[in-house]
Structure 1
Amino acid sequence: MNIVVKRIYNQSSHNDGTRVLVDRIWPRGIRKEDAELDDWNKDVAPSTELRKWYGHDPDKFDEFSRRYHDELATEAGRQALQELRQCVKGKRLTLLTAAKDVEHSHPTVLAQILSE
């Protein structure tokens, strides 16, 4: 499966494949009817506690990634990953986030996990 990470604020593309928002909180300034989503999987996002601890601080990214892996290794995390895999239609998945720093965001970690 080909996996791409994009900001939800970026223009959608005809080759995005299945578009899934993977944030726990709906992004500001985007109307649901304008989001062009195939799914919104809140359960695959990091817990609120982990997200707040991380605070999008790139210096904490390695530890954040480890903790996020741990969350996804739980029964609830495995279930959320399975639901995400099942919603994909075709060979391309676009993970969408509101994070400004996509490189240091949870969808980047998630894409790596899904590719393994």
Structure 2
Amino acid sequence: MGTVRILRVYDEPEAGEYRVLVDRLWPRGIKKEAIDLWLKEVGPSNKVRNAFGHEEEHFPKFVRDYRAELADNSAVDQLRGILKKHAKVALVYGAKDHHQNQAAVLLDFLNDVPTDLP
């Protein structure tokens, strides 16, 4: 696996970086040419996403629920294949919070980082 990072969809990628949108919803104002692949199936389900609502107090439950979904999600295997194929990958997301979003949880999951949330 090459380098992989998370990047807000409105930020500029590095040169040669393959951008994978990991949101289930297309972000406003973004042209399709700005994204190399939209892998919406790897994003959290509507139920889990809506329960989180980007509210800080709901983040620990969101992490648990989303990681449980990822454990049984075949799109994760597809994403791992993409990571092997490309030297530099950005997991792109539309949320305003740079730390509490699905891309951060997904990156930790891919790196097998255990959660220390209660």
- Normalised by the length of structure 1, the TM-score is 0.87
1:11 aligns with 2:4: no
The answer to whether the 8 Å contact 1:18/1:38 transfers is yes
The answer to whether the 8 Å contact 1:39/1:87 transfers is no
Structure with more helix by fraction: 1
The separation in 2 between residues aligned to 1:18 and 1:29, in whole angstroms, is 19
The answer to whether the 8 Å contact 2:51/2:58 transfers is no
The separation in 2 between residues aligned to 1:90 and 1:41, in whole angstroms, is 15
The answer to whether the 8 Å contact 1:3/1:92 transfers is yes
Report 1:59-78 matches (<5 A): 59-74=57-72, 77=73
1:49 aligns with 2:85: no
Gaps of 5+ in 1: none
- For residue 85 of structure 1, what is the amino acid of its counterpart? R
Percent identity, aligned pairs only? Answer: 40
Partner of 1:94: 90
1:90 deviates by 3.0
1:12 deviates by 2.1
Gaps of 5+ in 2: 113-118
Q: Identify the structure with bigger relative contact order (alpha carbons < 8 Å, sequence gap 6+).
A: 1
CA-based RMSD: 1.3
Partner of 2:27: 27
Q: How many residues align?
A: 110
The answer to whether the 8 Å contact 2:52/2:62 transfers is yes
- Normalised by the length of structure 2, the TM-score is 0.86
Partner of 1:81: 76
